[in-house]
Structure 1
């Protein structure tokens, strides 16, 4: 669900915090992706097809544009999220939801495919969006790609929506620093605003719209003070309201080591063996996409080499694309972030 009507509020009250771009604007950037969002997009768009095929195509598109993707998987959800997950499961017609964080068969398949494609994967201790935001704050990645707006209260300075290769698709980027500046609130006050708007970790005050919630936070600065100055009859406060627990989830963030990220060349034969021979995807389709990937990559390499020779570009050559990216300004220790075998392949 994310944060209720946050995007709408930003567009109306802080439009300068929103910028519109194309996928090519993220060339050379390291982008963390909430994998469940990506997978669910393909499940909704093509319910009769395996989301693995969509994940395969999307990942190659990122690599073609020299975007370095980092796929983050959900872990065990916070217990405060249980009511929201139950409601979401009921709406989708599911009998249950994953409350343990143990990887499902679909998650294991995604991990296996991404391993063959040579991109890093990370298992979050809790919600993936929290770890994605943590990676941005630590300087390990440049931005988060997610449709859920709760990456902003988690502290991601840059959040990207609609990051895909559709020609008519406009990528939307939200800047947290610009947002806070325009709204004239700090991060802690912004978290309280998001809780008032409605989040996954607690109930909200009924009847309190986004405009009113913003004005109350700008004037009173904390939920505690807001509660003292609202009409409790028209805006009843939930019983046993767990807003403090929700606030702590947003502000504390995950306590996990910063991982080392390594990209390697996609292993075409391993991809074909997995997708075609195991998952029964048509081999011709996969082979043709890999051929297109190699051609586009070589063409872009030549373009950059020509530009560099002409002195018009300082972009990194494609031969340097598959390399280790380390946390800025300090050497990172290898973390225990999970891939299929809890080990990442070394650079080739």
Structure 2
């Protein structure tokens, strides 16, 4: 779930903290990616028709491998340096939320059975997606694939979003890419949505800047964390009747959850029994993360060509020609990304990630667009 309604809250109250960027504007950037969120998207979207999914000859699902392979190559070809972060064991405080998700999947499974009986294609499509779960095997498959591609993998001791945010705060990566907004609550300095969307959607990347979020909302980081807990997070229930807008008003007025509880109308708002907001706050402020360089091992290397062919073609039934061509793309991208960003040589006078000024030269833009179209024309083949 992340933080309930946070995107809209920021759009309404801190619009300067959000900006749309072109996918290509992240050339040379190191990006920490929430792996489980990406795998979940691949399982729902890639090669899926109703309840049917991509499989190998043994009947094992390969949608996650297809999605991870092609989408990562797209990042590499754009000159990015992705690092995928995988979840570890969830904190105890998240067990309630996980139990709710399990219950929702069980309900969706029942609804799917009914939809199949009535042959309602629309409901079959809808409910089949709600039954999707990222398994340990899906994660292990993708870890193996990424390592063979020469892309670093980090196994978080707990929450992947927290580990991503830690990499970002320490300057090891430029930004965190996910769809869950709690990366900001964990303190990621830059946060990206839609980076992993397919190019066919043509959706710009939405970048959030935590410093501007706090400035526009006129809150400290501690107050922002309290705002997120009040709005609704994965670690505890929220107070019924208090959404994001009311939570922001109360935080600005009282400064903290403790002060809000002292002044809250208990007849109007019912506070959950044994509400563990303090534990939730601690999880956001002091999450369990890895910080040692040797454990992180953020190194991008050449692909293991023989290993990729064996894993994708021999073991999972991928087309040998497409895999061979994809490996060549990875090798070419490796050379491209080693060029680095321009601001690594010159001190920038403005924010280099804002591509707005390029609109002033439509002719050069058109040429650039044509080049990109030719370069990426084969990406839709799977």
TM-score, normalising length from structure 1? 0.81
Contact map agreement 2:175 2:192 (CA 8 A) in 1:
yes
Partner of 1:166: 199
Partner of 2:40: 40
Q: How many residues align?
A: 301
Partner of 1:11: 11
- Structure 1 residues 1-348: aligned runs within 5 Å: 1-46=1-46, 47=48, 48-49=53-54, 50=62, 51-93=64-106, 104-164=136-196, 166=199, 168-258=202-292, 259-294=296-331
Contact map agreement 1:154 1:250 (CA 8 A) in 2:
yes
Q: Indicate how the Cα distance of structure 1 residues 292 and 63 shifts in structure 2: closer, same or farther if over 3 A, else same.
A: closer
Structure 1 residue 314, shift from structure 2 partner? 6.8
Task: Write out per-residue CA displacement over residues 288-316 of structure 1, whole angstroms, 9 at most, x where no aligned residue.
Answer: 33345556777x589x79xx9xxxx6778
SS of the equivalent of 1:163 reads: coil
What are structure 1's unaligned runs of at least 5 residues? Answer: 96-102, 317-348
Structure 1 residue 61, shift from structure 2 partner? 1.2
Structure 1 residue 270, shift from structure 2 partner? 1.4
Q: Indicate how the Cα distance of structure 1 residues 30 and 295 shifts in structure 2: closer, same or farther if over 3 A, else same.
A: closer
Q: Indicate how the Cα distance of structure 1 residues 166 and 138 shifts in structure 2: closer, same or farther if over 3 A, else same.
A: same
Contact map agreement 2:302 2:331 (CA 8 A) in 1:
no
Q: Indicate how the Cα distance of structure 1 residues 288 and 180 shifts in structure 2: closer, same or farther if over 3 A, else same.
A: same
SS of the equivalent of 1:262 reads: coil
Tell me how far apart the structure 1 counterparts of residues 101 and 169 of structure 2 sit (CA, whole Å). Answer: 29
SS of the equivalent of 1:287 reads: helix
Tell me how far apart the structure 1 counterparts of residues 331 and 11 of structure 2 sit (CA, whole Å). Answer: 39
More helix by share: 2
Tell me how far apart the structure 2 counterparts of residues 314 and 211 of structure 1 sit (CA, whole Å). Answer: 39
Contact map agreement 1:120 1:263 (CA 8 A) in 2:
yes
SS of the equivalent of 1:152 reads: helix
SS of the equivalent of 1:82 reads: helix
Contact map agreement 2:79 2:333 (CA 8 A) in 1:
no
More relative contact order, 1 or 2 (CA 8 Å, 6+ apart)? 2
SS of the equivalent of 2:84 reads: strand
TM-score, normalising length from structure 2? 0.74
Tell me how far apart the structure 2 counterparts of residues 119 and 201 of structure 1 sit (CA, whole Å). Answer: 31
Structure 1 residue 209, shift from structure 2 partner? 1.9
Tell me how far apart the structure 1 counterparts of residues 43 and 165 of structure 2 sit (CA, whole Å). Answer: 25
Tell me how far apart the structure 2 counterparts of residues 297 and 203 of structure 1 sit (CA, whole Å). Answer: 45
Task: Write out per-residue CA displacement over residues 171-223 of structure 1, whole angstroms, 9 at most, x where no aligned residue.
Answer: 00010000000101000000000000000000100011211110100110110
Contact map agreement 2:223 2:256 (CA 8 A) in 1:
yes
Contact map agreement 2:33 2:164 (CA 8 A) in 1:
yes
Contact map agreement 1:70 1:121 (CA 8 A) in 2:
yes
Q: Which region of structure 1 is more displaced relative to structure 2, 30-39 or 41-50?
A: 41-50
